[in-house]
Structure 1
């Protein structure tokens, strides 16, 4: 199938699979099988028949032409960006090699991640002026903390997942616990062991929680980025028609 004819919902599915593969590879530099599986699934859909990864190079390469990073940037700044063919060759070689260790594994993983970023960009390219909704970019099933949980739990989540913010529902509204607020709370004039045992609700004033910006699933992402009201926001919370939190969106997902 021509990549341009790939339905939007399928593009989103494969974008999410590539993104999940990237995250898995970042968590384990010696294991990038998740990326390979995502590439093979996308290649299978584009080619229309089951082959090995090498046979999918042509349809994936056609898609890669829609990526500014994999085409234009790799030509203009070859010292900074690699082209599709070079990245694909590394990934194919590593896919067929059982020795996924050390420097070799890190090099292959870095190439696979770079390839994913470019293909994700290509999949999300839409005609000029096309409206893009929050639901197409948000991270689903967001991690939240409860008001009754101890501050130690929020700290553990932030350190484990490198979160900058955590949503918490408090006093009838969604608030955000920031890494800065938590750091100040833990380090300012109190025993860390005692501070971490306090519930988020009881420590709310000292944690400097901020009001969250809640948006609809169908909100236009371009309007969010250009609105003066939202210009300094680093995380939007996404609610469904019933007011339930169903996702989060940060500028990171929109890059």
Structure 2
């Protein structure tokens, strides 16, 4: 990606999503630093306009990170709780050149890169024109299907630490919560639990599994850059800030114009 120069809104959205995905992969593997590191290196190459080393990318990446108060300001006020981005960058640079990328070294490198990714994500969310849904929403969405067995849905929730899974019940979007699944499987005998795990979501729904209404908005004309293009399913425009207030902890489901294809998901976790 050499020759990119400064990050415009399109490039910023691209790297923001790349960092999120890489960070989530690293959280599943305490030694899985590679993906986050590679995204940061590609970002450095884009900012510098040429392929070089982490050392050469340093000034550009630190300049970008400085847009977030987590980079330097907050660590100055709370040094016991936060490490400055510049220090993290030096630690990562040193570990990157270390021949030993296993065990404690790899785990510490992964931790430092995850924290760096969080700071860079926060920096790229800082937008002089206000929050944009495309800067926040998750695009690679895991959904449940009415024909999926409860056993599989439960497993997906545990593997990915999901609180909600969206699903389309044939007419509208719903969300299935971990609380609903736990309640459905907990207060019953072992034999009954096995039967319920084998059931499809559709069968379980008929047997008492509760599905919650999703907070659904749709994109108009395929655009996802400004909140003016977010339309409630009843046809009224809606501001992103209003959506956050309305969500009350539920995920916000962003659909295409036909309201059947899910193109994005926003949870409180994504708004932190």
TM over 0.5: yes
Q: What is the rounded CA distance, in whole Å, between the counterparts of 1:120 and 1:39 in structure 2? A: 11
* Residue matched to 1:238: 254
Matches within 5 A, 1:213-252: 213-217=215-219, 218-219=229-230, 220-226=239-245, 230-243=246-259, 244-252=261-269
Structure 1 residue 54 and structure 2 residue 50: aligned? no
Any idea what SS the aligned residue of 2:254 has? strand
Structure 1 residue 188 and structure 2 residue 206: aligned? no
What is the aligned residue count?
Answer: 248
Q: What is the rounded CA distance, in whole Å, between the counterparts of 1:171 and 1:30 in structure 2? A: 41
* Residue matched to 1:20: 21
* Residue matched to 2:126: 125
* Residue matched to 1:152: 151
- TM-superposed CA distance for 1:171, in Å, is 5.0
Any idea what SS the aligned residue of 1:69 has? coil
* Residue matched to 2:71: 70
Task: Note if contact 2:176-2:210 (Cα within 8 Å) is conserved in structure 1.
Answer: yes
Higher deviation after alignment, 86-95 or 4-13: 4-13
- TM-superposed CA distance for 1:65, in Å, is 1.5
Q: What is the rounded CA distance, in whole Å, between the counterparts of 2:18 and 2:69 in structure 1? A: 20
Any idea what SS the aligned residue of 1:39 has? helix
Task: Note if contact 2:215-2:247 (Cα within 8 Å) is conserved in structure 1.
Answer: no
Any idea what SS the aligned residue of 2:71 has? helix
Task: Note if contact 2:255-2:262 (Cα within 8 Å) is conserved in structure 1.
Answer: yes
Q: In 2 relative to 1, CA 18–49 (structure 1 residues): closer, same or farther, beyond 3 Å? A: same
Task: Note if contact 1:165-1:177 (Cα within 8 Å) is conserved in structure 2.
Answer: yes
Task: Note if contact 1:215-1:236 (Cα within 8 Å) is conserved in structure 2.
Answer: yes
Any idea what SS the aligned residue of 1:121 has? helix
Higher deviation after alignment, 217-226 or 190-199: 217-226
* Residue matched to 2:205: 204
Task: Note if contact 2:16-2:135 (Cα within 8 Å) is conserved in structure 1.
Answer: no
Structure 2: which 5+ residue stretches go unaligned? 220-228, 231-238
Task: Note if contact 1:31-1:100 (Cα within 8 Å) is conserved in structure 2.
Answer: no
* Residue matched to 1:35: 36
Given the two structures, how large is their TM-score scaled by the length of structure 2?
A: 0.85
Any idea what SS the aligned residue of 1:105 has? helix
Q: What is the rounded CA distance, in whole Å, between the counterparts of 1:134 and 1:64 in structure 2? A: 21
Q: What is the rounded CA distance, in whole Å, between the counterparts of 1:170 and 1:24 in structure 2? A: 29
- TM-superposed CA distance for 1:24, in Å, is 2.2
Structure 1 residue 143 and structure 2 residue 131: aligned? no
CA RMSD of aligned residues (A): 1.9
Q: What is the rounded CA distance, in whole Å, between the counterparts of 1:209 and 1:46 in structure 2? A: 45
* Residue matched to 1:254: 271
- TM-superposed CA distance for 1:5, in Å, is 5.0
